[in-house]
Amino acid sequence: MNTLFRLALLPALAAGTGCSADAAKAPAASGAAILVAHRGASAYAPEHSIEAYELGIEQGADFVEPDLQITRDGVLIVLHDLTLERTTNVREVFPTRFRTEEIRGELVDVWFANDFTLDEIRQLDAGSWFDDAFAGTKILTLSEVIDVVRGRVGLFIETKAPEVYGDRGFDMEGLLLEELTRHGLDQPGADPDTPIVIQSFSAKSLRVLRHDYGTLLPLALLIGGADGEKWLTAEGLAEAAEFATGVGPTKTLLLGAPGVVDLAHEHDLTVVPWTFRAADPGDFETVQEEMAHYLYELHVDGIITNNPDLFPRTPPRGGS
Active site (catalytic) residues: 38, 80
Task: Assign 3-state DSSP to the chain and report helix, strand, coil percentages, each to 5.
Answer: 35, 20, 45
Contact of 113 with 82, CB cutoff 8 Å: yes
Contact of 300 with 36, CB cutoff 8 Å: no
| E strand or H helix at 16 | helix 3-17
Contact of 194 with 185, CB cutoff 8 Å: yes
The partner residues of 107 in beta bridges, in order of sequence, read 102
Helix (H, G, I), strand (E, B) or coil at 97: coil
Q: 169: alpha, beta or left, given left = phi > 0 and alpha = psi -120 to 50?
A: left
The partner residues of 68 in beta bridges, in order of sequence, read 78, 159
Measure CA 83 to chain center. Answer: 18
In whole angstroms, what is the distance from residue 273 CA to residue 60 CA?
A: 18
First to last CA, the chain: 20
- Is the peptide bond between 275 and the residue preceding it cis, with omega within 30 degrees of 0? yes
Q: How many CB atoms lie within 10 A of CB 74?
A: 14
In whole angstroms, what is the distance from residue 105 CA to residue 10 CA?
A: 47
| Helix runs in 98-227, H state only | 118-121, 142-149, 162-167, 172-182, 203-207
